Chains A and B, each alone.
Chain A
Amino acid sequence: MPMRESSNISSKREIKAPVVREYLDQRGENLHKILKESISDFPGAEISISIDMVTVKIDSVRLAEVCEFLKYTEKFRFDYLSCITVVDYEKDQERFEMIYHLISIRLRHKMAIKVSLPSNDPTVPSVLSVWKSADWFEREAHDLFGIKFEGRENLPPLLLYEGFEGYPGRKSYPFHDYGEW
């Protein structure tokens, strides 16, 4: 039986989708407590929990400061940037959400930093000066989503060929209709 387009199914019935529970382990609890105390230094920061990850949402302007603080302060010591993700929520304001996953090898806890960017001219300060592993992740975000990074020169495309038009990671970029190239 051929698979129908699932969009038909979902429009017919309501998605009663529950939201995930949060359960932090011991280290997560400790981290949550220390973060609540120190993060009041940075205005505009909101702390939340997503399953087992403590998440801090901050303004994009303060990103480099917060990252340096988190890397060099003794109680946090987030010395390893695991991943930089960009998610495209198709809204006008706060369209792109960038998520930085940080892990501390010494103290064995992890957290995520979220930054929201608007749809026109999404710019965010680069964290290359804090962790060198951000280099290629930022170039990839630039290729696929068109995010601009302050504080570093924009190098040639990493994953796509030179002259590729459009940003394929965005939701507005279409899928390939199976035809011929």
Chain B
Amino acid sequence: MQVHQQVSEYSDAIDLMVNMGPQHPSTHGVFRLVIWVDGERIVKVEPHIGYLHRGSEKICESEQYSQIVTLFDRLDYVGNLNNELAFCLAVEKLTETVVPERAEYIRVILCELNRIASHMLFYGVYGLDAGATTPMLYGFRERERIQELFESVTGARMMHNYIRIGGVKEDVPDDFDENVLVLLEHLKKGIDECDRLLSQNEMFLARTKGVGIITGEDALDYGVTGPALRASGVIEDVRVTDPYSIYSRFDFGIPVGSNGDCWDRYYVRVEEMRESIKIVEQAISDIPNGDISAKVRRIIRPPVGEVFVRTESPRGDLGVFLVSDGSDKPYRVKVRPPSFANLQALEYMLKDTYIADAVLVLGSIDIIMGEVDR
């Protein structure tokens, strides 16, 4: 007869390895997180990525410039237009193409609406991570409205391939202005509703306040950018500090948090949606008539040189480094993905937390594995 040995109070801690494998309902894509726990406390964390490494950068070296826009669409597959914009800005800087005004305004309007759509996805999925199933349906309802508008303009719900080098692909339909204004009215009500539903909920606050704290200094050292950095108190937004396109003409605020915990990272994004609505309102009232694309050759051959461009995607600082050797295919394309650097800070954020918080901290960084692995 075996007698179970009692585990004494002062015995050495037993580490248990928990594998949040590549298939997991809350790992936002194929991401593997190996966690060593001591009871409920996390002792060590080891992230494994590379389950979606498709070799996009290498494929870019064998495709012409206008074909690469479709590859960039699929990197951060929730904020597609922001990726296309980053690449097109890089090539336009290299070839010194001047983009006409109307195209710039259309680009800004669509990119900001894409930012709202991306944050709505974050809102829905983060609510689901925290255990609430209603925010997902509310978030996706707003997202569907935006995707309907995108479909009327670009022809596709997700992979638009609309922002081309030199401008945009084709002009917006005639009822675009009214559609956008109606959409903005719906979005304002929708964002308020979503905010009322989740932000001040007692259980949500208990789960996210004070969890996964990272200070501004450490965040910058780890290369964290975007809403995750702003939530730690650092005022940095590429649209304001290093403006590209026509963002310097618009008047909008930068929401900044104070604690650097999960709730701050969540609420910064909710406020960012409201700021994006302001930008779209200003842009749609000033949009001029004119050309929608500069005259570029069909096969673009930029001069020899290299360029580095930073833009603000919904996840942070998206950089594109382009080396051209004068031919019609780039020599090297490197994407600096914001989620790649943000994910490095996960180890730091998960120090001295409980295992139940791992999911929420991961969700609050808002990663998209398509751009982490490229």
Contacts and interface: CB of A to CB of B under 8 A. Distances in A.
Q: Do they bind each other?
A: yes
B62 interface: yes
Contacts of B58: 168-169, 173, 175
Shortest Cβ-Cβ A-B pairs, 7 listed:
A133-B223, A17-B326, A20-B305, A83-B336, A159-B50, A159-B53, A85-B334
Given A133-B341, A135-B344, A87 B323 contact: yes
24 contacts: A6-B299, A6-B329, A9-B328, A10-B328, A17-B325, A18-B303, A20-B307, A50-B307, A51-B93, A51-B305, A52-B93, A53-B307, A53-B308, A81-B223, A82-B310, A82-B319, A83-B308, A83-B321, A83-B334, A101-B319, A103-B310, A108-B241, A158-B49, A160-B53
A110 B241 CA distance: 12
Nearest to B326: A17
Contacts of B220: 79-80, 105
B308 A101 contact: yes
B373 interface: yes
Interface string A155-181: 001111100000011000101000000
A160 to B, nearest CB: 6
A12 interface: no
Contact of A132 (B94, B222, B329): B222
Interface in A5-36: 6, 9-10, 15, 17-21
Nearest to A9: B328
Contact of B301 (A15, A85, A133): A15
Contact of B304 (A19, A131, A161): A19
A112 interface: yes
Interface string A81-103: 11101011000000000010101
A84 to B, nearest CB: 9
A136 B236 CA distance: 23
Contacts, number: 111
B328 A6 contact: yes
Q: Which of A6, A18, A135, A160 has the most CB of B within 10 A?
A: A6
Contacts of B334: 83, 85
Contacts of B332: 85, 87-88
Given A19-B303, A51-B307, A161-B50, A87 B331 contact: yes
Contacts of A160: 50, 53
Nearest to A87: B332
A52 B307 CA distance: 8
B93 A105 contact: no
Given A51-B93, A82-B336, A17 B344 contact: no
B55 interface: yes
A168 B55 contact: yes
B275 interface: no
Contacts of A85: 321, 332, 334
